[in-house]
Chain A
């Protein structure tokens, strides 16, 4: 086990802002992309614009 506490895990050896910034941006981009693709198909099934 690498971490002794949640605080230590979040700190990432003092580089937490870089590590979590990278992971948060990735999660946000992939989440938004999946949502847009889902919405596009739902709209395509709906009534004609």
Chain B
């Protein structure tokens, strides 16, 4: 347990994440290049949909990220509340804007795909509506936490919203099974063989890992900023600012 608490110290997190950042950005760039190359130059034209299906290489990974980040945010927020762990709460706060961005991307790319495939930008089906609710949950979390001045009170209020809203994530995931939706069912699942050509699947998985690397990088950057904002008076932060540069 000693190690767990050592890593939970904001100063320790700041140094470790700083060392990881360049590698995360390199990984994101390499994976994006590989994923887009295979997605556009190796994966064949879809027999039914033509070329427009190539939106899948960002649409599905972004939708996955929007849900995974929400669960991570709720988990860290709960830990920060129950254990009174400051770093966990700061990670929850740092995750929210990234989750919002991936939700926006999932909805936008979905609309751009829906128009040519279904003939409409938007339809009130269960999958689309529950993803829109996810957008409002992120917006609500951000509005609430930004509106409260005391950081620890804001963390606790945000945690309540995050935990209650987590019920929406399984609803999104299973919506295509529970209801009759215009949205197609899962092409990839943990329990069955994927129903896609292997080059398409590979491109989609590479883009998923690229988004993971990007999300880690940008969440670490934001969490480092939050650590600095909250620990302004700590000796180690004063040391960073007077040196004029921060490793």
Q: Hey, which bits of chain A sit against chain B, CB under 8 A? A: 1-3, 9, 12-15, 18-19, 21-23, 25-26, 29-30, 33-34, 36-38, 40-41, 43-46, 48
Chain A residues, Cβ within 8 Å of B241: 45-46
Whether the pair B105, A33 counts as a contact (CB closer than 8 A) is no
Cα A23 to Cα B58 in complex, Å, equals 8
Cα A43 to Cα B226 in complex, Å, equals 11
Size of chain B's interface in residues, with CB distance under 8 A?
A: 37
Known: A22-B55, A37-B218. A15 touches B108 (CB 8 A): no
* Chain B, Cβ-Cβ closest to A39: B225
Known: A37-B225, A45-B240. A19 touches B105 (CB 8 A): no
Whether the pair A2, B101 counts as a contact (CB closer than 8 A) is no
7 A-B contact pairs sorted by A residue (CB < 8 Å)? A2-B41, A18-B116, A19-B54, A29-B105, A34-B217, A38-B221, A48-B232
Q: Hey, which bits of chain B sit against chain A, CB under 8 A? A: 40-41, 43-45, 50-52, 54-55, 58-59, 62, 97-98, 101, 104-105, 108-109, 112-113, 115-116, 214, 217-218, 221-222, 224-225, 228-229, 232, 240-241, 246
Cα A34 to Cα B221 in complex, Å, equals 8
Whether the pair A15, B222 counts as a contact (CB closer than 8 A) is no
Whether the pair B221, A29 counts as a contact (CB closer than 8 A) is no
Whether the pair B112, A33 counts as a contact (CB closer than 8 A) is no
Cα A38 to Cα B241 in complex, Å, equals 16
Interface SS, A side: helix
Shortest distance between the CB of A38 and any CB in chain B (Å): 6
Whether the pair B58, A26 counts as a contact (CB closer than 8 A) is yes
Whether the pair A13, B45 counts as a contact (CB closer than 8 A) is yes
* Chain A, Cβ-Cβ closest to B244: A45
Whether the pair A26, B52 counts as a contact (CB closer than 8 A) is no
